[in-house]
Structure 1
């Protein structure tokens, strides 16, 4: 049997749920995490790696953190260093699109292979526990008086929390170009900045701040969702008269130059992993929402999302 025919038959069996997991078990996955440890991409990638192993579709998973420039540095390494590698994967998401729009790096997502969207999540804005401000209303009042006095902290330039901060400014009548935004290379750095009182307001995915919110080290003042998150008492921006809503999603890309069969096998592996008990535990622990979308449908989504995000950022004065 020819190799391509063999792969197709294996994928058909995998889709039907009748393929022995040992057929995939020899795969040694290389996971590129385009952020420093502690952030959303890092957490997602490591949870996915564990799920791939627990589902029996990967023998080993190695991780490589390469943070900076909203993922563009990691993207460049992935595009240039993994060409044709059928075992290479890279975690990415909305933040990377924003970074590409603002930073215009020499590499582009079109050079890699879209596999699947995994999760979606909304951002939460928090204050340090000892902040003189107690609410988003107080933050906005000061923002109107002196935009530069409010120091927003979050992910790289072009991240969803950066975009949200600019949108908040625009919605309350402040020039978005005047906001004082401090970009960090990873979630760990942003958390340290908030806890240390080095920024006025911190923004990130809810899961990244959840531990510190629960222990009272951070005070949540707004979420970027349309409605309050399930089980949460944190008000939305819209509830507080600020017409801003923006979500964050995360997905996975494969290496440039892989074949259609290799792409299909990676997607089948990802689908198996997202049906594992390990992945279900990670989804619950991190308050992620499932957003599975694979193959060409995911590719089309990314193209549309890029156009929508660029329009939003242009109107917010970021481009």
Structure 2
């Protein structure tokens, strides 16, 4: 759908009451709930997509709110309770939130919100401080085998993909995954500070979060969880190292509960069109993300499958 055609459809929906009359060619004020502290993957994704909405002319402004904690569950709860029925609000979410819900069983469920679309996927990079005596992933594995508790794995909230990957790595090298020493943080900024401060042995997150520190020589990359090497990163895949672990970290957006079917359809179309903007393409390139657009019933089904897949991996790895 062309932008001018889409904007005309917004005006038509406004005229029939499906959207407020402010939904015009000038765009509408929108809200973006980022259920994590500043500086992490969700924060980067949410702000980049908000900019894409504005640059595409679909949002006149975007109000961002960070609410970190419990793998996004705190932000999810606030979003569900405070934004009910608002067709101009979005929640950033992804695989990390699903893992946190499985392990934490929060009172507010993701099923209470409205699925819109998956946007991107990103693989985890495991890094150490540049001064670390551990030079390779083999060094980490050797220490893990000798004393599992001595290796502090830093990353996102409990149940995050880097937590799951750490448990999978332990299991693959013959270590009881229940014995890993995982240190969760509420956002990528906190995890990065812990790595740079030497408070954790090894840290995991998306390449985009660590890239400035890798480029400056403050961090050293040991391995990635991708099926193939990542462009611009001199680090082997875990599979190259003989560790059969591959796991991706996707991110998407949800709308609040209580919006109409017509409002959901229009918001989904708006999100899909914004992913075609120049601004979004630049963010994809800058952050090394993999485009992974999926919307409508296909996205609903994907989330259901992901819940089942992650739960099975966690059970197999001894996390639950």
Which TM-score band (shorter chain)?
Answer: over 0.9
Aligned residue number for residue 3 of structure 1 = none
| Deviation string, structure 1 residues 101-157 (Cα, Å, up to 9, x no partner) | 000001111100000000001000001010011000000000000000000000000
Pairing 1:214–2:221 present? no
- 1:282 deviates by 0.6
Query: TM-score, with normalisation over the residues of structure 2?
Result: 0.93
- 1:25 deviates by 2.7
Q: Do 1:11 and 1:268's aligned partners in 2 also have CA atoms closer than 8 Å? A: no
| SS of residue matched to 1:173 | coil
The 5-angstrom pairing of residues 1-319 of structure 1 reads 10=9, 23-319=24-320
For 2:7 and 2:51, locate their aligned partners in 1 and report how far apart those are by CA, in whole Å: 26
| SS of residue matched to 1:243 | coil
For 2:72 and 2:189, locate their aligned partners in 1 and report how far apart those are by CA, in whole Å: 15
For 2:199 and 2:12, locate their aligned partners in 1 and report how far apart those are by CA, in whole Å: 54
- 1:13 deviates by 9.5
- 1:78 deviates by 0.7
- 1:295 deviates by 1.4
Aligned residue number for residue 17 of structure 1 = none
For 2:169 and 2:27, locate their aligned partners in 1 and report how far apart those are by CA, in whole Å: 49
Q: Do 2:10 and 2:24's aligned partners in 1 also have CA atoms closer than 8 Å? A: no
| SS of residue matched to 1:28 | strand
For 1:159 and 1:204, locate their aligned partners in 2 and report how far apart those are by CA, in whole Å: 9
For 1:199 and 1:12, locate their aligned partners in 2 and report how far apart those are by CA, in whole Å: 53
Q: Do 1:24 and 1:58's aligned partners in 2 also have CA atoms closer than 8 Å? A: no
Q: How many residues are aligned here? A: 306
| SS of residue matched to 1:240 | coil
| SS of residue matched to 1:162 | helix
- 1:27 deviates by 1.2
For 1:112 and 1:118, locate their aligned partners in 2 and report how far apart those are by CA, in whole Å: 17
- 1:9 deviates by 7.3
| Deviation string, structure 1 residues 141-194 (Cα, Å, up to 9, x no partner) | 000000000000000000000000000000001001100000000000000000
- 1:265 deviates by 1.4
| Deviation string, structure 1 residues 204-261 (Cα, Å, up to 9, x no partner) | 0111101111111110000001111234321000110111000000000001011111
For 1:122 and 1:147, locate their aligned partners in 2 and report how far apart those are by CA, in whole Å: 24
Superposition RMSD in Å: 1.7
- 1:24 deviates by 4.6
Q: 1:129 to 1:258 in 2, by over 3 A?
A: same
For 2:34 and 2:233, locate their aligned partners in 1 and report how far apart those are by CA, in whole Å: 29
What residue ranges of structure 2 are gaps of 5+ in the alignment? Answer: 1-5, 14-22
